[in-house]
Structures are given as C-alpha cells and as structure tokens.
Amino acid sequence: MAAVARCSSVRAAAQAPACSARSQAVSRPAPFAGLRRASVVDKDLEACPAQQLRLRTAARPAAARRTAARAVTVMSAYVAPKKILMLGGTRFIGVYLARMLVDAGHDVTLLTRGKKPVVFRIPDDTDESFDRFAASIKHIACDRTDVSAMQQLLGNQGFEVVYDINGREAEEAEIVLDAVGPGLQQYIFCSSAGVYKKSEQMPHREEDDVDFNSRHKGKLYTEDMLQRRGVNWTSVRPVYIYGPLNYNPVEEFFFHRLKAGRPICVPNSGMQVTQLGHVKDLASAFVKILGNPRAARQVYNISGERFVTFDGLAKACAAAMGFREPEIVHYNPKEFDFGKSKAFPMRDQHFFASIDKAMADLDWAPEFGLLEGLQDSYDKDFGRGTYRKEPDYTADDMILERVKGKVYA
C-alpha cells in the first residue's frame, strides 16, 4: 500500500511574481533564455539534425518505431534512480508517467489532495505490473497551495526531481520550489500548446510568439518564474492529448455519436487542421527529459507526428471503432447560440505544432499513429463501456434541426 502523509487544507495566499516588460505596449515576462533556435529554412539537410531525425523516423517501419518507443523505460535506466515528487498522478497523464518512472527504478511520491485513491488498476496493467506499482508508489496528501504544510511535509524529504503535471499558476510552482529546497536538480513542468498566438505560419514552433491573454497564461508565467529562479527546468507543451482515461471529451465526443448512430456535426468546412498526441507518447517524452542535459531550460512541443482535419478525425474515430464512415454535417457556429452546450471539442481553427525539436533533443519519437492510438483508446476504455461524461446532444439537435430539418432521438 502507498505510504500516506496528511495535512490540513488551509489555502495560503501568494502574491503573483512581478514580471519584466517584454514590449512597451504589453507588460509580460521577458523572452525565455535558451528557447531560440536557428532557422533551418536555408540550411543543408546535413546541417539540420531535427530534419535528419524526422526523415530517419519516417523511413523506419512502424514496428521498428513502436519497438524504439516502448524501450523508453529501459533506456531511462541509464539515469541513476532519482527521488521524484509528482504533483498530479491520479487522472490521466500522471497515471501513465508514474508507472513508467516506477518501472525505470525511480522512487516516486505522488502529491495529491487525497480525495481519491492513488493506487488503482488501469487497462494497461497486468497483475505483475500493478502489484509492483502498488508496492512502490508513495503518497503525500496535501493541498499544494498550503504553504506551511508543504514546507513541513516536503522540506526534509530530499526530493531531487519534481514533475509538475497539474500546475496552473506561477505562485503554485513557487510554493513547491520553496518547500522542496535547494537539493532540487530538475523541475519538469506540463504546460500547453494553447499558449501560442494564432499565426498565419504553421506549425507552431517553440520560439513562436505566445499569448499572455490566453486561458493558459498562468503556465507562461510559471515558465518565466522558473527561468528567473535559476532552476534547471523544462516545459512540455502538448497539443490535444488522447488515450485511455482521457477526462477531456476529445475522442469520446466522436465515440458517443458514432455508437448512437448520429451524424457528426463539424464546424465550417471541416478542413481545419489539428493534431493529437497519445498519452503514452507524452508520458514517454516526460521520461526522456529526466536527467537529459539537452533539455535544461528548454520548451518542447509534444504530440503525434501527423496532422489531421476535423473531418478526417471523425472518419478515423469511426475506423477505430470498426464502423463505416459517418455522416458529417457542417454548420456555421455564428448562426447559433449554444448557451452552455459545447458543440465541438476543439478550437475552430488550424492548431498543430512541430515536434522536431523534441525528436532531435530527446531521442524520442511517438509510438502511436493516429488510427493506432484511437484504437488503443477505444479498445481499452470506451469500447469497454467506460467513459468520463454522458453525451450532451443539445447543440447537435439545434444544428440538425436547422441544417437538415430533423432531430435525432
């Protein structure tokens, strides 16, 4: 059983860190050191390792790519066992990451609020792997915003590495830094590709302009705080994440409608290009960052290698379920007031990012193609009758009544 320490949940107010001005018009943090990279547009292929790796990876058979990706925990054994604190490890990303780290021989402690068990079986577990994880994982139950409790519980633990999977604000991460103390060797942070400004040039790259007005701005301020504090930090910016246990209704949105025999309502032309990354590929990238000197003070986009249109994603979900191609109904979102109902699970724009930098620096490549990943998600989750949310067809019915003159029961 997991070892558990408990604390009171007294929320401590923390003042947001002051940030230097990046421009005369908008007050925001200074550019992060170490994030710029030379343009590869005018360079020979031989001078561009990211392009070389991308071509080599594309040339490898799918089976070889899967074998390389699945070796991540074996390769991580070259990193000496670390004492790791993970914030957030009971929902989605952290569930897979914690298991990979334990399999690699690291001493892993999860810090959660203690509202749900930290040891439970997941579809990928075997009896052996679950018993090993349950016997190895440790737990501290605490509100991460409780300053005094965090210092009391973490101060003498000797944690060497922090994986901050659920941090949203800079002051939250600063509480962790102060509590863990000077022995910290590495702080690995989960950010989001949602921080990038809309751009006419795609895909998003790590050096692109970011949006300090986005709903993810707290993650940008966290990156800036870590840089100013002189910490050995790395930030990971996933695009859309999918896979078994996904609590965001990404693939689940399509699976529900396909199972019910309903059309898939897709905004505008359906040719908007997006990108999905499997949760296990994201977790393996996090493992590859551990102890990697090339990852020091760097930002990495992590997702799948290929991009897909909205219509293509609907068709891929049907193929993953073994269904025929769905009926797709396009609509203009500006013609509707959906209220609180969500008509589509993705932002209505092109949204995808380059993963070349991560592939080059981390010796990492995604294991899952889109169809493989969707099949994995369906077979190990929705296809077993498990999902996170009941479907809400309110917006669908509004669209179908106007576009087709009928509502599906």
What's the pLDDT tens digit per position in 38-87? 333 333 434 444 444 444 444 545 444 444 444 444 444 368 999 999 99
Strand pairing class (308-309; 273-274): antiparallel
Is it the case that residue 9 has pLDDT exceeding 90?
no
In a domain, 180, yes or no: yes
Q: How far apart are CA 267 and CA 263, in angstroms?
A: 13
Residue 122 structural domain? 4-8+44-403
In a domain, 36, yes or no: no
Mean pLDDT across the stretch 281-290? Answer: 98
Per-residue model confidence as pLDDT tens digits over 197-231: 999 999 999 999 999 999 999 999 999 999 999 99
Helix, strand or coil for residue 360? Answer: helix
Per-residue model confidence as pLDDT tens digits over 395-409: 999 999 999 876 665
In a domain, 158, yes or no: yes
Sign of CA dihedral 127, 131, 137, 140: positive
Mean pLDDT across the stretch 156-184? Answer: 96
In a domain, 408, yes or no: no
pLDDT score at 73: 40
In a domain, 51, yes or no: yes
Q: How confident is the model at residue 26 (pLDDT cuts 50, 70, 90)?
A: very low
Q: Which residue's entry shows tokens 């298991």? A: 99
CB neighbour class for 178 (10 Å; exposed up to 12, middle 13-18, buried from 19): middle
How many helices (H) does the chain have, and how many strands (E)? 14, 14
Q: How far apart are CA 172 and CA 163, in angstroms?
A: 13
Q: How far apart are CA 244 and CA 184, in angstroms?
A: 32
Q: How far apart are CA 377 and CA 383, in angstroms?
A: 8
Helix, strand or coil for residue 308? Answer: strand
Nearest to 180 by CA among 111, 245, 104, 129: 111
Q: Are 116 and 90 in contact, with CB atoms under 8 Å apart?
A: yes
* 50 compared with 296, residue with greater pLDDT: 296
One-letter amino acid identity for 49? P
Is it the case that residue 33 has pLDDT exceeding 70?
no
Q: How far apart are CA 270 and CA 97, in angstroms?
A: 33
In a domain, 18, yes or no: no
Rg (CA), the chain: 22
Would residue 105 be called left, alpha or beta, if left means φ above 0 and alpha means ψ between -120 and 50 degrees? left
pLDDT score at 116: 87
**Exposed e or buried b per residue across 93-120, where buried means at least 16 C-beta atoms within 10 angstroms of its C-beta:** bbbbbbbbbbbbebbbbbbbebeeebee
pLDDT score at 408: 65
**Exposed e or buried b per residue across 386-399, where buried means at least 16 C-beta atoms within 10 angstroms of its C-beta:** ebeeebebebbbbb
| Domain at 135, CATH number | 3.40.50.720
pLDDT score at 404: 81
pLDDT score at 406: 67
Q: Give the list of residues 6+ apart from residue 383 with CB closer than 8 angstroms, or none.
A: 321
In a domain, 232, yes or no: yes
In a domain, 107, yes or no: yes
One-letter amino acid identity for 256? H
Per-residue model confidence as pLDDT tens digits over 238-282: 999 999 999 999 999 999 999 999 999 999 999 999 999 999 999
Q: What is the DSSP letter of 78?
A: G
Q: Are 107 and 132 in contact, with CB atoms under 8 Å apart?
A: no
Secondary structure of the chain: what % helix, strand, coil (to 5)?
A: 40, 15, 45
Count of domains observed in the chain: 1
Helix, strand or coil for residue 51? Answer: helix
Q: Which residue's entry shows tokens 């309502």? A: 265
Per-residue model confidence as pLDDT tens digits over 333-392: 999 999 989 999 999 999 999 999 999 999 999 999 999 999 999 999 999 999 999 999
